[in-house]
Structure 1
Amino acid sequence: MLELLLCSMLTILPDYLYRRYRQGKRLGKEITFYSVWFELRWGIITCLMLTVALITLIFYFHPSTTTATLFYRSVPIVPEINGRVSEVHVEFSAPVKKGDVIFKLDSSKQAAALERARRKIAEVDAAFLTAQADILKAEGQIQEAKGAYQQASDELDTKRELQKRNPGIVPQRDIEKLEVLLAGRQGALDSATAAKQSATTKVTALLPAEKASAEAALAEAQVDLDRTTIRAGVDGRVEQFTLRAGDIVNPVMRPAGVLIPANVGRTLSAGFGQIEAQVMKIGMVAEATCISKPWTIIPLVVTGVQDYIAAGQFRGGEQLIDPQQVRAPGTIVTFLEPIYPGGLEGVTPGSSCIVNAYTSNHDRIASKEVGALKGFALHAIDAVGIVHAMLLRIQALLLPVKTLVLSGH
């Protein structure tokens, strides 16, 4: 309507004024309802053509969309293990800080495994004491074997010396017995030495390895026990949390609830028509009005333009993709942030908004790289953006009326 009024002021109105005051024709006499078309046909046709051209110009270079939403991220509250809920520490809706306990699962099995790992460490520590006692015992046996070996060796040396001085004075059988005895004492000494080596190896290598394994099992058991306590990973708010003691939770089949992180909803996502793909650029100035914050115009800037249209994506499977299956054309997703700090404060995350984006050719005109005619055209393109800005403000004024009165609710 605004475009039609603007174009009529340049076409129909001058035509009417010319015929009324220049030709002297009077409204209701020579200019009647039936003669309007014939009299003002050039102005009407020109007005309609200019209106269509102006609307096309405005909507192409200054795109608008009603599919804009303040998306936010939600974090599912999912335990890492299956289990039955034993304690719930938050209500249906409650704020939480990072690390706060949300709920606990039954941990009797994990607690028993943790206690078993602790007992295993105590058992290894006791084995250390036993092995050290075995070393002391082996050292005593070595000393005893050395003494017995030395005694047998001295006695054999004495018998041999006597036999050497007076052959036949010592029976050969006694010397052989002493040699066998000396060999036995040497075996006892070797056995005691091997026992000490075994006990030493047990203390220095085997038991430390067993203790390290037991400590790893203790740490694993502690981790399993900690998994039964589900904590908030980020600051935020738990919403619609209906979990109660006795419920079964499953990380695959049944999440426990939803945690909405704090400071969400700071980026507005808007879907513009595909025809604006060449117009939407990073750095464009935009404006928005949202249902949850009526009668307010929020200045924005385009910070990102998605290079892919979601309607065209597919996953490899057993069936071929038919383009006819894409019923609705996708949109060019853009991301907008407020120009001024706190611009989106008061807008409820998830709220629907109306967004206008405005093309600016000021830098191109100021660079003197365009001619006078093209510069004038670019000026005109930038100037007609005010029409879209006026329409957005009218929509912002009428939005509460349309929502509360005309929607029928």
Structure 2
Amino acid sequence: MSRPLNLVVLGLSLSSSWGNGHATTYRALLKALAARGHDILFLERDVPWYAEHRDLAEPGFCRFALYPDLNGLESHRAAIAAADAVIVGSYVPDGIAVGDRVRDWAHGLCAFYDIDTPVTLARLQAGDCAYLARRQIAAYDLYLSFTGGPTLRLLEETYGAPAARALYCSVDRDAYPALERAARYDLSYLGTYSPDRQPTLERLLIEPARRAPDLRFCVAGPQYPDEIDWPENVTRIAHLPPDAHPEFYAASRYTLNVTRADMIRAGYSPSVRLFEAACIGTPIISDTWDGLDTILTPGSEILTADAPEDVLTILRLQPDAVRQRIGSAARARVLAHHSATRRAAELEGILHACVATRTSVHPMLKEEVGA
């Protein structure tokens, strides 16, 4: 392992997993980075909707601080200036202003971690991205992208990113062990309501539930509109904290992976829920998108469906031995390639390489970053 780094991360949330997938992504990654000896400070904007739903107020793997507003960042200016690398995440409130301040204050590497890359690029095209300005992409030393594939070249060649690197989400294998539980649901789905995911959820879970009243379904996650017509055999759970996710997946014969429209268009955008379910050993039925086969192999590690009939065929006709074999194969693949330990090592390598490149271009920075 290379020398330990002093890192500052400004992200959407670490303390609350309510209504977002960022918190579990940061928790897994930062815990694994800390285990590799790195010193981390996470800065989170104190907002009321997360304050009401905090499920990790005091993380044990990093230093953590809330700041009330932009002016409140001033108290962390020295830490930002002293860091080997500062990472600003997507969807940070006032993210454009936060990014500008980080660029002004930091002496070390400045990176942007986009856990929503296709959504970000779509919003930049529309001119309504509140957390990143197009001019900032070239100003950050490193663009860490939730999305891989052709999007990385687009970021560098069209948007001017000095270095765009894939940093997929991951799963903490200790928090998501293989579990065997009696099945409560034939098909489940865990995710916050999103208008662009809802048609797929309707097609691949709600409609199958209507056609198969003898089967059991469940949708867990907040912010679903009251007007949705849920069939009687669909159980609704308003919110599941991360420590309840393993039991939820283990109690599902299959679970559904639904991808946002922008992510489908870009491809190569696996969700954290996909990795979590696979790590438990629960077989996954997914919509299809370019690059899925680079994450899990369709047919042997994951199943795909386009229509209600595809889902019902799987639920009714798939032999249980085949179901279990698919779940086990997915778990083995995710543990080998998408664990938080693996992802932390990847990020460590990326950061050290970028720091080395940056100091070779700017020799005066060598003393500042401890080279």
Q: TM-score, normalised by structure 1?
A: 0.19
Which has more radius of gyration?
A: 1
Identify the structure with bigger relative contact order (alpha carbons < 8 Å, sequence gap 6+): 1
